[in-house]
């Protein structure tokens, strides 16, 4: 059973970026003279709202301020978010962020096997354009046949829209594709879009229920960071590679109703 494409979420999946996002939000608040401080605890809860602008709007809605002040602050959200995006790019440029375990290897394997690659993310194109080259090298963005991100769809994760757009642009059937996610919102989006979903949580999503994913792992594993024996037994080896992924995908695809039989 040949997988037609691998589709990657960005934040939390390609790299553990949310601490950098949190710092960028707080830096933007200082630039705009706002005394807001998103602590890790506060931010962990706010991550239940996908999208930085939506997260800011939700936060403003939670403030005990007069209605006219709330409206004024809501009007400032796009500007605050643009500042935050610039701050995030600055943090990325400092070179502290690294791809998560197994990401560079799996993407390299897929490229070597001619398996198309996609990105499906809630974040902005500006963030992806800053992050992917910083993580994987100057040419890396060109490795992805499709980059579906941010406001190009009406509904953000957990809605399936961004994954539906990505697989449509890849010219693939969703059930022929594998999605890689880190969060409850993301797993729900990929599952709702019909993709075979692999979930690898981060410290931010450790408490999330990712059990609706077809495959849940502590990491993708690597030769220098092999998976624990229980996880390795589940996938047939100490790290998830294209063949082991295709085998797990194939066994799932064989259970699909005939109408969606995977060729």
Q: Which residues bind ligand XBP (CB under 6 A)?
A: 9-12, 18, 21, 50-52, 121-124, 127, 157, 183, 186
- 147 near 141, Cβ under 8 Å? yes
Provide the minimum distance between the beta carbon of 21 and ligand XBP in the complex, in angstroms, as a whole number: 5
Q: How far apart are CA 119 and CA 141, in angstroms?
A: 10
Provide the minimum distance between the beta carbon of 138 and Mg ion in the complex, in angstroms, as a whole number: 24
Nearer to ligand XBP, 204 or 244 (CB): 204
- Partner residues linked to 198 by β-bridges: 180, 215
**Of the ranges 14-22, 37-45, 178-186, 230-238, which one interacts with Mg ion (CB under 5 A)?**
178-186
Angle formed at CA 212 by CA 40 and CA 59, multiple of 5 degrees: 30
Q: How far apart are CA 232 and CA 226, in angstroms?
A: 8
Q: How many C-beta atoms surround the C-beta of residue 196 within 10 A?
A: 26
Task: Choose among Mg ion, ligand XBP, none what residue 102 binds, the Cβ cut-off being 5 to 8 Å by kind.
Answer: none
Q: With binding defined as CB under 5 A, does residue 9 bind Mg ion?
A: yes
Nearer to ligand XBP, 51 or 221 (CB): 51
Q: With binding defined as CB under 5 A, does residue 161 bind Mg ion?
A: no
Nearer to Mg ion, 185 or 242 (CB): 185
Provide the minimum distance between the beta carbon of 128 and Mg ion in the complex, in angstroms, as a whole number: 12
Nearer to ligand XBP, 49 or 173 (CB): 49
Provide the minimum distance between the beta carbon of 259 and ligand XBP in the complex, in angstroms, as a whole number: 30
Residues 25-54 vs Mg ion: string with x where CB under 5 A?
Answer: ------------------------------
Task: Choose among ligand XBP, Mg ion, none what residue 56 binds, the Cβ cut-off being 5 to 8 Å by kind.
Answer: none
Listing DSSP states for 40-61 in one string gives HHHHHHHTTS-SHHHHHHHHHH
Alpha helices in 139-209 (DSSP H): 161-170, 184-192
* 190 Cβ contact partners less than 8 Å away, ≥ 6 residues apart: 7, 9, 120, 160, 163, 179, 181, 197, 213
Q: Is 11 a catalytic residue?
A: yes
Q: With binding defined as CB under 5 A, does residue 222 bind Mg ion?
A: no
Query: What token pair was written down for 14?
Result: 């390609």
Q: How far apart are CA 124 and CA 152, in angstroms?
A: 10
Q: With binding defined as CB under 5 A, does residue 12 bind Mg ion?
A: yes
- The label of the residue with tokens 């046949």 reads 145
Nearer to Mg ion, 26 or 123 (CB): 123
Residues that are catalytic: 9, 11
Q: Would you tell me which residues interact with Mg ion (CB under 5 A)?
A: 9, 11-12, 182-183, 186
């Amino acid at each position: 059973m040949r997988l037609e494409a691998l589709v990657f979420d960005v934040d939390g999946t390609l790299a553990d970026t949310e601490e950098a996002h949190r710092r960028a939000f707080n830096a933007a608040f200082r630039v705009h003279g706002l005394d807001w401080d998103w602590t890790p605890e506060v931010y962990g809860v706010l991550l239940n709202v996908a999208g930085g602008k939506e997260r800011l709007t939700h936060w403003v809605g939670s403030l005990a301020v007069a209605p006219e002040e709330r409206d004024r602050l809501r009007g400032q959200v796009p500007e605050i978010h643009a500042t935050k995006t610039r701050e995030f790019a600055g943090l990325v440029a400092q070179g502290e962020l690294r791809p998560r375990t197994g990401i560079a290897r799996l993407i390299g394997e897929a490229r070597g096997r001619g398996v198309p690659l996609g990105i499906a993310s809630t974040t902005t194109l500006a963030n992806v354009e800053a992050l992917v080259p910083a993580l994987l090298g100057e040419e890396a963005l060109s490795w992805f046949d499709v980059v579906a991100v941010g406001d190009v769809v009406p509904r953000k994760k957990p809605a399936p829209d961004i994954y539906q757009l990505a697989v449509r642009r890849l010219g693939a059937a969703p059930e022929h594709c594998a999605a890689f996610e880190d969060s409850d919102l993301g797993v729900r989006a990929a599952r709702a879009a019909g993709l075979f979903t692999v979930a690898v949580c981060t410290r931010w999503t450790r408490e999330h229920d990712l059990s609706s994913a077809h495959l849940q792992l502590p990491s993708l594993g690597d030769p220098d960071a092999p998976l624990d024996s229980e996880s390795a037994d589940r996938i047939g080896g100490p790290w998830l590679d294209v063949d082991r992924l295709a085998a797990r995908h194939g066994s799932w695809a064989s259970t699909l109703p005939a109408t969606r039989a995977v060729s």
